[in-house]
């Protein structure tokens, strides 16, 4: 048989095509298997995250009921009450959920620095500066914080910081109250370390009563107390705390350190609570913070913030 010269050539081409096809199919199959694996992982991650989120929501529902019941049981809020106790993490299904509650009224509300009209409140500024000094944080930072929140564009005090001080950033000052704790990171000078220190005495919550959020003497810290009362020292504060919980604030009037302090801000109960949850399900690790506002005997969720999550 005489082979046409083109025939061998054609077979050669066909072989190369087959080999190329095999190579392509093999690559595709490997990619597809990898993608399948990734999408299975993705679905299972989403499932874990969903379960973690639902566990966190269950915990918050439980604490809402807890706090509602608490307001029916007692007129005061103190650290020896059940809501303030640390609970051990408890298992749900194949996950783990833990939650801690702190009343927000033990802390200075950053939003009190300005009144409802957006004007700095000097008494609050001085109180916050005293608090910074007690914690060994530079009190000049308070000026920058005031400017971030006050509605004018005039620097407040020697260390004020309006827009011109943010020229290196791609954002401007807010000129309004804060919506969340994480916003503080944007304010000039408030670095991670400082914020960690301040977390022990400050909170960010909607301002009430024109920027005069109540401080609960049954839950607040020595430093917060001393910041309200410039004539009080640490021993006075500790002595005063030994008789907690208080049923009312009247006894303070007669104490020598009370002079010059702002008594009208004090309270023996709390109306806002921060619940922090941590849920672990499979590979999902979800941390959230909720802010509950309790008016009368009803606790409403007014803010929910995802603090962190990872797989
Ligand atoms: Ca200003
Ligand atoms: Ca301003």
Q: What is the pLDDT of residue 147?
A: 97
Residues 133 and 141: their CA atoms lie apart, in Å, by 11
89 — phi, psi (to 5°)? -60, 140
Q: Is the pLDDT of residue 309 over 80?
A: no
Q: What is the pLDDT of residue 31?
A: 77
Domain identity same for 219 and 176: no
CATH number at residue 195: 1.10.40.60
Please report whether residue 87 resides in a domain. yes
Q: What is the pLDDT of residue 201?
A: 98
Tokens 């199959």 sit on residue: 29
pLDDT tens figures, 54-63: 999 999 998 9
HSE-CB for 160 with a 13 A CA cutoff: 17
Write out the E strands in 104-226: 108-109, 202-203, 215-216
Please report whether residue 298 resides in a domain. yes
Q: What is the pLDDT of residue 85?
A: 87
Instruction: Give the rounded distance of the alpha carbon of 6 from its chain centre.
Output: 77
Domain identity same for 124 and 88: no
Domain identity same for 182 and 275: no
CA 257 – ligand 2 centroid, Å: 34
Residues 290 and 275: their CA atoms lie apart, in Å, by 5
Structurally, how many domains does the chain consist of? 3
Please, which residues have CB within 8 angstroms of residue 260's CB and are 6 or more apart in sequence? 229, 230, 231
pLDDT tens figures, 232-254: 999 999 999 999 999 999 989 88
Domain identity same for 1 and 66: yes
CA 35 – ligand 1 centroid, Å: 54
CA 55 – ligand 2 centroid, Å: 41
Tokens 């803010």 sit on residue: 303
pLDDT tens figures, 173-215: 999 999 999 999 999 999 999 999 999 999 999 998 888 999 9
- The structure tokens listed for 68 are 């509602």
pLDDT tens figures, 77-86: 999 998 898 7
Residue 180: which domain range?
Answer: 108-200
Domain identity same for 177 and 112: yes
Q: Cβ distance 110 to 186 under 8 Å? A: no
Omega into 269 within 30° of 0, i.e. cis? no
Query: Which ligand ends up closest to the CA of 150?
Result: 2
Q: Given phi > 0 = left and psi -120 to 50 = alpha, else beta, which region is 195?
A: alpha
Looking at the DSSP bridge assignments, the partners of residue 310 are 285
Q: What is the pLDDT of residue 194?
A: 97
CA 183 – ligand 2 centroid, Å: 15
Q: Is the pLDDT of residue 7 over 70?
A: no
Domain identity same for 48 and 149: no
CA 302 – ligand 1 centroid, Å: 28
pLDDT tens figures, 254-269: 899 999 888 889 999 9
Q: Is the pLDDT of residue 282 over 60?
A: yes
Q: What is the pLDDT of residue 111?
A: 97
Q: Is 303 helix (H, G, I), strand (E, B) or coil?
A: strand
Average pLDDT of every residue of the chain? 90
Confidence of residue 38 (pLDDT cuts 50, 70, 90): confident
Q: Specify the pairing of strand 215-216 against strand 266-267.
A: parallel
Question: How many residues in total does the chain contain?
Answer: 311
Tokens 């921060």 sit on residue: 274
Please report whether residue 131 resides in a domain. yes
Which residues are near ligand 2, the ion (C-beta closer than 5 Å)?
Answer: 147, 150, 175
Please report whether residue 209 resides in a domain. no
Domain identity same for 90 and 29: yes
- The structure tokens listed for 137 are 């944080």
Query: Which ligand ends up closest to the CA of 149?
Result: 2
CA 149 – ligand 2 centroid, Å: 6
Domain identity same for 90 and 10: yes
Q: What is the pLDDT of residue 5?
A: 55
CA 114 – ligand 2 centroid, Å: 10
Helix ranges (DSSP H) in 108-160: 122-134, 141-149
Q: Looking at residues 202-231, what average pLDDT do you find? A: 94
The Cβ of residue 293 has, within 10 Å, a number of other Cβ atoms equal to: 17
pLDDT tens figures, 101-127: 999 999 999 999 999 999 999 999 999
Of 193, 213, 192, 191, nearest to 204 by C-alpha is 213
Following DSSP, what letter does each residue of 33-55 receive, concatenated? HHHHHHHHHHHHHHHHHHHHHHH
**Could you give the dihedral angle defined by the CA atoms of residues 188, 192, 198 and 200, in that order, rounded to the nearest 10 degrees?**
160
Please report whether residue 205 resides in a domain. no
Q: Is the pLDDT of residue 2 over 80?
A: no
Q: What is the pLDDT of residue 39?
A: 87
Please report whether residue 208 resides in a domain. no
Domain identity same for 114 and 187: yes
């Amino acid at each position: 048989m005489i082979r046409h010269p083109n025939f061998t050539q054609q077979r050669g081409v066909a072989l190369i095509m087959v080999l190329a096809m095999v190579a392509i199919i093999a690559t595709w199959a490997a990619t597809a298997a990898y993608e399948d694996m990734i999408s299975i992982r993705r679905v299972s991650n989403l499932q874990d995250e969903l379960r973690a989120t639902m566990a966190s929501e269950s915990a918050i529902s439980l604490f809402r009921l807890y706090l509602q019941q608490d307001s029916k049981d007692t007129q005061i809020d103190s650290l020896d009450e059940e809501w303030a106790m640390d609970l051990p993490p408890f298992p749900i299904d194949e996950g783990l959920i833990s939650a801690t509650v702190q009343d927000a009224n033990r802390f200075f509300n950053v939003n009190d620095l300005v009144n409802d009209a957006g004007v700095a409140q000097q008494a609050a500024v001085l109180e916050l500066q005293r608090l910074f000094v007690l914690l060994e944080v530079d009190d000049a930072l308070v000026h920058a914080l005031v400017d971030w929140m006050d509605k004018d564009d005039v620097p407040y005090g020697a260390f004020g910081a309006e827009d011109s001080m943010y020229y290196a950033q791609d954002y401007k000052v807010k000129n309004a109250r804060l919506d969340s704790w994480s916003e503080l990171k944007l304010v000039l000078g408030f670095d991670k370390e400082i914020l960690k220190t301040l977390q022990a005495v400050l909170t960010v919550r909607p301002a009430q009563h024109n920027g005069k959020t109540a401080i609960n003497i049954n839950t607040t810290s020595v430093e917060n107390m001393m910041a309200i009362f410039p004539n009080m020292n640490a021993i006075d504060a500790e002595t005063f705390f030994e008789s907690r919980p208080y049923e009312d604030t009247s006894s303070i009037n007669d104490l020598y350190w009370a002079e010059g302090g702002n008594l009208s801000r004090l309270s023996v109960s709390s109306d806002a609570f921060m619940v922090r949850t941590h849920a672990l399900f499979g590979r999902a690790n979800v941390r959230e913070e909720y802010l509950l506002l309790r008016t009368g005997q009803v606790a409403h969720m007014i803010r929910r913030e995802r603090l962190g999550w990872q797989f």
